[in-house]
Amino acid sequence: MIEAVVINRVEAESKDCLTLHFEWDRPVSPGQFVMVWIPGLDEVPMSISSIGPEKAMTVRRAGEATEALHALSPGDRMGVRGPYGNGFELNGMRTLAVGGGVGMAPLMPLLRTMYADVAIGARSADELLFEEEARRYCDKVETSTDDGSRGMRGNAVQLAERMMDEGDYEQVVACGPEVMLYHLFRACEARGVHCQMSLERYMKCAVGLCGSCMLGKERVCIDGPVFDSARLRALSEFGRSKRDAAGRSVGL
């Protein structure tokens, strides 16, 4: 059932992202998401970026629905149902967390829970997300920007490859654009590094019913959104194609 939650606080994070903090007393584990209802407009999936007693979601402006979320103020209400999805598995592996753009959002609850080094990528400095907060929990936080305006010039995959080659990681946890994740996955496979990656597909029901979020044989909403290496290998469409709202296969 959809619950009406009240926004306590809105925090600007980057050029196109902000964080909505809201009251919601459900237990959430790192990597899970909710469906957010913007009445009269749409209902879209959003990762939970803070899982404490007060929850948060970090929203990148992408279109009408996210635009409407950006327009909300403290005291406003939004509809929320969930949490959904499997979330990340917490294990003892030496971990590199890799976030591309707003892909940092689902990683934040993880970084607050377990130890990891962090690679953050974005197009330019003003789009880098959560660098400062990550430094609060993690000793080693590196960044990359396409335009070199901060950190390494290049993309998050290149940054992660460098860090993997220098460090001694057993695992990569990652979220970001699928093309990035696909190349990161291949880089990990080449190095024998275990992966957990959070993926996205078009979602309608979010409860494993309608099949609109199929990625190969998996339902991203309930079998995912986090997939480990073994399952990533079997995902026929990973890095290649997705389904539109009508269920047609289209390029990524």
Ligand X SMILES: Cc1cc2nc3c(=O)[nH]c(=O)nc-3n(C[C@H](O)[C@H](O)[C@H](O)COP(=O)(O)OP(=O)(O)OC[C@H]3O[C@@H](n4cnc5c(N)ncnc54)[C@H](O)[C@@H]3O)c2cc1C
- 151 token code pair: 């950190």
Minimum distance, C-beta of residue 3 to ligand FES, in the bound complex (Å): 19
Residue number, 191 or 240, with CB nearest to another protein: 240
Peptide bond into 45 cis (omega under 30): no
**If you ran DSSP here, which 8-state letter would residue 140 be given?**
-
Residue number, 179 or 210, with CB nearest to ligand FMN: 210
- Kindly give, in sequence order, each residue whose CB lies less than 8 Å from that of residue 40, ignoring residues fewer than 6 positions away: none
Segments in the chain forming alpha helices (H): 64-70, 104-111, 131-137, 156-166, 178-191, 229-234
Footprint (CB under 8 A) of another protein, residues 118-157: none
Q: Which does 239 bind (CB under 5 to 8 A by kind): another protein, ligand FES, ligand X, none?
A: none
Q: In what order do the strands lie in the sheet with 33-38?
A: 42-47, 33-38, 77-84, 3-12, 17-23, 54-60, 50-51
Minimum distance, C-beta of residue 209 to ligand FMN, in the bound complex (Å): 5
Nearest residue to ligand X on Cβ basis: 63
- Phi, psi dihedrals of residue 21, rounded to the nearest 5°: -95, 135
163 three-state secondary structure: helix
- Kindly give, in sequence order, each residue whose CB lies less than 8 Å from that of residue 134, ignoring residues fewer than 6 positions away: 104, 108, 111, 118, 120, 141
Segments in 43-126 forming alpha helices (H): 64-70, 104-111
Is residue 46 close enough to count as binding ligand X by CB under 6 A? yes
Site string for ligand FMN, 1-40 (x = CB under 6 A): ----------------------------------------
Would you mind telling me the total number of residues written for the chain in this entry? 252
Site string for ligand FES, 215-234 (x = CB under 6 A): ----x-x-------------
Burial 54-71 (b: 16+ CB within 10 A, else e): ebbbbbbeeeebbebbbe
Span interacting with ligand FES, options 47-55, 68-76, 103-111, 205-213, rule CB under 6 A: 205-213
3-state percent helix, strand, coil for the chain, nearest multiple of 5: 25, 35, 40
Span interacting with another protein, options 46-54, 127-135, 183-191, 204-212, rule CB under 8 A: 204-212
**If you ran DSSP here, which 8-state letter would residue 25 be given?**
-
Could you say which of 209, 234, 250, 252 contacts ligand FES (CB under 6 A)?
A: 209
Residue number, 148 or 247, with CB nearest to ligand FMN: 247
Is residue 157 close enough to count as binding ligand X by CB under 6 A? no
Minimum distance, C-beta of residue 30 to ligand FES, in the bound complex (Å): 20
Could you say which of 208, 216, 228, 243 contacts ligand FES (CB under 6 A)?
A: 208
Could you say which of 90, 179, 210, 222 contacts ligand FMN (CB under 6 A)?
A: 210
Contact residues: ligand X, CB under 6 A:
33, 42, 44-47, 57-60, 62-66, 102, 105, 200-203, 225
